[in-house]
Amino acid sequence: MIADRGYDMNNILELIEKQQATAVIPSRKHRKIQRTCDWWLYKERHLVECLFNKRKHYRRLATRYDKLSCTFAAFLSLASILLWLKTKAAQMEHAIKKEISVRIGEDEVFYTSLKSVLPQY
């Protein structure tokens, strides 16, 4: 279970241990005994927070207009797929631009033909 410092309480930590899970929660500054935290794993929390933030950009998800939970879940899946596709498209565009910058000295025609094929965002 990954959480921020606000969840660093003994009763929450005991509940996590009862469920035989690992708590990745940094210790609060005022705690007398500082616990160790897997900071590499804790950084993954940032990715999840960013995902929730990006999902809230879809007004339909942020305000929950849908009455039925199945309709809401369907749009949530659709929004997640759209976000994933945008991320993959950006990664591909970056890789292509990187290859273009390497080849620009070799073949100017390759650069112009690829530039016309790339979609503009």
Q: 84 in a domain, yes or no?
A: yes
The first and second tokens of residue 64, run together, are: 């929950």
What are φ and ψ of residue 24, in 5° steps? -110, 80
pLDDT greater than 50 at residue 121: no
Q: 62 in a domain, yes or no?
A: no
Domain of residue 29 covers 1-57
SS3 103: helix
Q: What is the pLDDT of residue 104?
A: 56
Beta bridge partners of 24: 2
With beta carbons less than 8 A apart as the criterion, state whether 55 and 48 touch: no
DSSP-assigned letter for residue 66 = -
Mean pLDDT of 82-92: 88
Bigger pLDDT: 98 vs 81 = 81
Domain count, the chain: 2
Cβ count near 23 (within 10 Å): 19
Q: 79 in a domain, yes or no?
A: yes
Mean pLDDT of 20-45: 87
Where is the domain boundary, 11, 27, 57?
Answer: 57
* Tens-place pLDDT, residues 68-77: 999 999 999 9
Q: What is the pLDDT of residue 119?
A: 58
| C-alpha 60 chain-centroid distance | 20
pLDDT greater than 60 at residue 114: no
